[in-house]
């Protein structure tokens, strides 16, 4: 019988581990997608754009941009422009990017504002932003293409609704929580409710059995009260207080735990005074 139990436990562990590896591969696979949009003209500027971070509190996207030159716009290599290159962006902080002719281009960090999305919706929050580029080489509009990918560990992002008249490119970026961060956030919410309900059940049992002041149980309840704060602060992305996770679980779990501890204490004191 013991051998059967050990085998069952081993199989369960193997199944769970395999499921975890599959989920990991599916999650990481969504982060490696490249989105390509724009002109396919042989003489064009391709903007290699990577999303480094979604700043949910500042409502900005941190983008890293590297121009890649094709055809007669390149001076021997795709990293050296044959003519002065200017890239105007829709960023309100960075604005115009300039690259001198015959000098190697370098990556540029640009911050784009978010149009839609609030961190207060965590863990269901998602963000939308419009990114735009206007490119000239030697004071002439040139065809533009865009390669976009996301490197933010907490968000997956995709490119939609791109338009590219000559010299311009505009597209929408949609960023949402990764599968892993969403699962962890949901687990924390369920765990907070489970802990609070466990404390409530213990409190009702102690009072109904007229057990008085049960110090170990009361110590556990008090410890749970502070453990819930640690659970809340472990939420991926460190959402500010007042997010949906608080109204959906944390505030209620703290309230139930506090009320249970006070209920047991008051009833225990009353019984102790009567004996």
Phi/psi for 73 (5° steps) reads -85, -15
Q: Are residues 214 and 163 in the same domain?
A: no
Q: pLDDT digits over 241-257, tens only?
A: 889 999 999 999 999 99
Q: What is the pLDDT of residue 57?
A: 87
Across the range 188-197, mean pLDDT stands at 94
Q: Distance between CA 130 and CA 213 in Å, rounded? A: 61
What's the residue count for the chain?
Answer: 275
Q: Are residues 57 and 121 in the same domain?
A: yes
Domain end position, chosen among 131, 148, 177: 177
- Adjacency order of strands within the sheet including 35-38: 35-38, 144-150, 45-55, 60-69, 108-113
Across the range 194-220, mean pLDDT stands at 91
Q: Domain range for residue 149?
A: 34-177
Q: pLDDT digits over 95-154, tens only?
A: 789 999 989 998 999 999 999 988 989 988 999 999 999 999 988 899 999 999 998 888
Better-predicted residue by pLDDT, 201 or 75 = 201
Q: Are residues 170 and 215 in the same domain?
A: no
Across the range 223-234, mean pLDDT stands at 91
User: What's the gap between Cα 33 and its chain centre?
Assistant: 17
Phi/psi for 33 (5° steps) reads -75, 135
Q: Are residues 165 and 90 in the same domain?
A: yes
User: Is the pLDDT score of 16 beyond 70?
Assistant: no
Q: Are residues 218 and 131 in the same domain?
A: no
The two structure tokens encoding residue 130: 């419009």
Q: Are residues 192 and 167 in the same domain?
A: no
Across the range 158-177, mean pLDDT stands at 90
Q: What is the pLDDT of residue 260?
A: 94
Q: Are residues 46 and 169 in the same domain?
A: yes
Across the range 149-167, mean pLDDT stands at 88
Q: Are residues 124 and 236 in the same domain?
A: no
Q: Are residues 132 and 259 in the same domain?
A: no
Domain end position, chosen among 143, 160, 177: 177
Q: Are residues 132 and 209 in the same domain?
A: no
- Number of structural domains (the chain) is 3
Burial annotation 25-39 (CB, 10 A radius, 16+ → b, else e) = eebeeebeeebebbb
Q: What is the pLDDT of residue 203?
A: 94
Q: pLDDT digits over 56-84, tens only?
A: 988 999 999 999 999 999 888 888 899 99
Q: Are residues 39 and 136 in the same domain?
A: yes
Q: Are residues 4 and 70 in the same domain?
A: no
Maximum average pLDDT range among 89-98, 146-155, 189-198: 189-198
């Amino acid at each position: 019988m013991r051998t059967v139990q050990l085998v069952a436990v081993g199989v369960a562990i193997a199944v769970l581990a395999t499921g975890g590896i599959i989920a990991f591969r599916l999650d990481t696979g969504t982060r490696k997608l490249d989105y390509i949009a724009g002109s396919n003209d042989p003489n064009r500027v391709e903007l290699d754009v990577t999303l480094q971070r979604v700043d949910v509190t500042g409502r900005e996207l941190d983008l890293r941009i590297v121009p890649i030159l094709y055809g007669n716009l390149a001076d021997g290599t795709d990293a050296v422009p044959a003519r002065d290159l200017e890239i105007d962006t829709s960023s309100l902080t960075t604005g115009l990017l300039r690259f001198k002719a015959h000098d190697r281009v370098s990556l540029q960090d640009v911050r784009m504002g978010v149009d839609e999305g609030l961190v207060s919706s965590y863990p269901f929050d998602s963000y939308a932003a419009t990114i735009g580029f206007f490119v000239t080489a030697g004071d002439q509009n040139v065809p533009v293409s865009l390669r976009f990918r996301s490197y933010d560990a907490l968000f997956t992002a995709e490119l939609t609704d791109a338009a590219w008249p000559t010299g311009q490119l505009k597209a929408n970026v949609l960023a949402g929580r990764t599968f892993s961060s969403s699962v962890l956030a949901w687990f924390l919410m369920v765990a907070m409710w489970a802990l609070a309900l466990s404390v409530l059940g213990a409190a009702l049992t102690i009072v109904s059995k007229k057990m008085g002041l049960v110090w170990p149980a009361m110590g556990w309840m008090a410890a749970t009260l502070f453990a819930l704060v640690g659970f809340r602060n472990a939420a991926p992305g460190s959402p500010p207080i007042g997010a949906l996770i608080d109204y959906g679980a944390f505030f209620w779990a703290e309230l139930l735990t506090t009320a249970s501890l006070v209920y047991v204490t008051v009833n225990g004191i009353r019984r102790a005074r009567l004996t």
